[in-house]
């Protein structure tokens, strides 16, 4: 029982910097969904994607706030600290890339400008939660996802999704065995990263019985660095060398559906993820956290 919040409701879910950030998320998310539904509108696959992201972020934010305010998160078989900071980090990235009006001549431009402003503000609100929950240097924490290494896992997974999107957009990766190898590297690293996040959020870090979880993270991250290093070399060679492809963009290649463009996106984000894994390797050797099977307590 929390003497500050009473026997049932958690007053700190509102009267704290973290609570204020979540209230801003709710208000801004509600405003965005309402304006898009009312007049801003959305169409096409990109518009549907944007609407789905806004609606999902808003719905999960409502659920997080409700569970925190009622303390019902203690009934969930997950690590609450890890779950909430993971969602906040992912929502920050997803909100950051949305642009509801990418083309000129919008009939409802004023509403779409308002949606853009609110979406940017929501990005800052989710980012504020990440900052408030982030573990400080030298701090021993229960929530691994609140550490720099844990947050980097979310970014790595997000960048991998960008790579997969480019691969699916006519990248022609199946033409060379070497580029197929690169796709396997991206898939394996993404799967391992996802596994680490799931084990942490579910409070099952002790499921890795062969070694301590923090050591497992370091070993896996080193493996990911080596794999991404190889892919970052192999992919550009077999896509842009004149023997296998074209070092320059073909003049006849249509914009938006050009395989060469997709190959460039994959190459650039391969180097981005390589840098993220290197940073993760550095940070993961410096953290010390307490693993637990029990749901964590929210930071306020």
Task: Give residue 96's Cα distance to chain centre.
Answer: 11
* Residues 56-65, mean pLDDT to the nearest whole number: 94
Residue 120 and residue 98: Cα distance in Å, rounded? Answer: 9
Look at residue 141 and give its three-state secondary structure: strand
The pLDDT value recorded for residue 48 is 82
Q: What is the pLDDT of residues 87-132, one digit of tens each?
A: 999 999 988 877 655 554 555 677 778 888 888 899 999 999 998 8
Looking at per-residue pLDDT, the higher value among 142 and 196 belongs to 196
Q: Domains in the chain, start-ordered, CATH in brackets? A: 1-133 (no CATH), 138-248+256-295 (1.20.120)
Residue 227 and residue 231: Cα distance in Å, rounded? Answer: 6
Check whether 161 has a pLDDT greater than 90: yes
* Residues 69-84, mean pLDDT to the nearest whole number: 89
Q: Is the pTM of this model over 0.85?
A: no
The pLDDT value recorded for residue 294 is 44
Specify the residue for token string 């003049």: 251
Q: What is the pLDDT of residues 169-221, one digit of tens each?
A: 877 888 889 999 999 999 999 999 999 999 888 888 777 777 888 888 889 99
Q: What share of the chain is helix, strand, coil (3-state, %, to 5)?
A: 70, 0, 30
Residue 56 and residue 62: Cα distance in Å, rounded? Answer: 10
List of residues 6+ apart from 250 with CB closer than 8 A: 258, 260
Would you call 148 exposed, middle or buried from its count of C-beta atoms within 10 A (0-12, 13-18, 19+)? middle
Q: How many CB atoms lie within 10 A of CB 245?
A: 18
Residue 4 and residue 10: Cα distance in Å, rounded? Answer: 8
Specify the residue for token string 């660095």: 225
- The token duo for 245 is 């492809």
Closest C-alpha to 256, from 45, 104, 61: 45
Residue 211's region, left for phi above 0, alpha for psi from -120 to 50, else beta, is beta
* Residues 149-174, mean pLDDT to the nearest whole number: 90
Contact 285, 150 (CB under 8 A): no
| Helices 177-201 + 213-240 axis angle, to 10 | 150
Residue 86 and residue 96: Cα distance in Å, rounded? Answer: 16
Contact 203, 292 (CB under 8 A): yes
């Amino acid at each position: 029982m929390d003497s500050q919040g009473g026997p049932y409701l958690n007053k700190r879910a509102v009267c704290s910097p973290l609570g204020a950030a979540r209230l801003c998320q709710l208000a801004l998310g509600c405003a965005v969904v309402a304006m898009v539904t009312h007049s801003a509108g959305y169409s096409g696959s990109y518009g549907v994607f944007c609407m789905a992201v806004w609606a999902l972020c808003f719905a999960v934010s409502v659920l997080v706030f409700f569970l925190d305010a009622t303390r019902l998160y203690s009934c969930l078989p997950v690590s609450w600290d890890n779950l909430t900071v993971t969602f906040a980090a992912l929502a920050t990235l997803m909100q950051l890339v949305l642009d509801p009006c990418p083309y000129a001549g919008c009939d409802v431009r004023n509403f779409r400008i308002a949606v853009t402003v609110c979406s940017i503000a929501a990005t800052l609100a989710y980012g504020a939660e990440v900052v408030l929950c982030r573990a400080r240097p030298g701090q021993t924490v229960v929530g691994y996802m609140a550490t720099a290494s844990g947050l980097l896992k979310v970014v790595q997974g997000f960048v991998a999704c960008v790579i997969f999107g480019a691969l699916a957009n006519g990248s022609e990766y199946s033409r060379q065995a070497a580029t197929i190898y690169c796709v396997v590297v991206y898939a394996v690293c993404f799967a391992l990263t996802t596994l680490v996040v799931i084990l942490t959020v579910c409070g099952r870090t002790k499921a890795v019985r062969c070694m301590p979880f923090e050591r497992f993270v370091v070993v896996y991250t080193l493996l990911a660095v080596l794999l991404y290093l190889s892919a970052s070399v192999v992919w550009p060679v077999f896509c842009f060398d004149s023997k296998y492809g074209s070092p320059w963009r073909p003049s006849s290649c249509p914009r938006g559906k050009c395989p060469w463009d997709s190959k460039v996106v994959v190459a650039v984000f391969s180097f981005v993820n390589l840098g993220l894994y290197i940073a993760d390797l550095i940070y993961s050797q410096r953290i010390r956290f307490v693993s637990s099977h029990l749901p964590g307590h929210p930071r306020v």
